[in-house]
Structure 1
Amino acid sequence: MKEMGKPSRVLTYEDAIEVWLMRWDGWLQSRIAAHFDVNQGRISEVLNGMRHFGSAADAAERRDKAA
């Protein structure tokens, strides 16, 4: 069980890339947040360019290489 008042984990740049890939695959922000055990606001910050700037471009590059 999670301790009361304990902050959720911090998203890394690598996590942010995965967030973009999941979003483009149709995942809802709430599901992405649950996957990473973070508040949905942290996912929104990534997707709105407020955190880990450049992660969208890196995610797109990875997606293109995988295709």
Structure 2
Amino acid sequence: MKRKSSKPVTSEMAAHVRYLIKTKGLYQHQVAALFGVNQGRVSEIMQGKRFPDVPPAQGSFPF
């Protein structure tokens, strides 16, 4: 059986991931479900392994 891969993560998504976790207090698995990505991708963003120079988004969530 073939694995289902996650959507590619963009720098804009990374900014919103940081915003939701740091500002709104959501858990990584909750944010992963919102974006339709693997929780591991969210973890990599929060650890600075992906898009380390992207700050959290400002303002409201886009969807």
TM-score bucket of the superposed structures, by smaller chain: 0.7 to 0.9
Aligned to 1:28: 27
Q: How many residues align?
A: 57
Q: Which segment is superposed worse, 5-14 or 15-24?
A: 5-14
Gaps of 5+ in 1: none
1:36-47 aligned within 5 A: 36-47=35-46
Q: Structure 2: how far apart are the matches of 1:53 and 1:9?
A: 19
Q: Once the two structures are superposed, what CA deviation does each residue of 1:26-67 show, in whole Å capped at 9, x if it has no partner?
A: 0000000001111111000000000011113xx26x36xxxx
Tell me the TM-score normalised to structure 2 length: 0.79
Moved over 3 A (4+): none
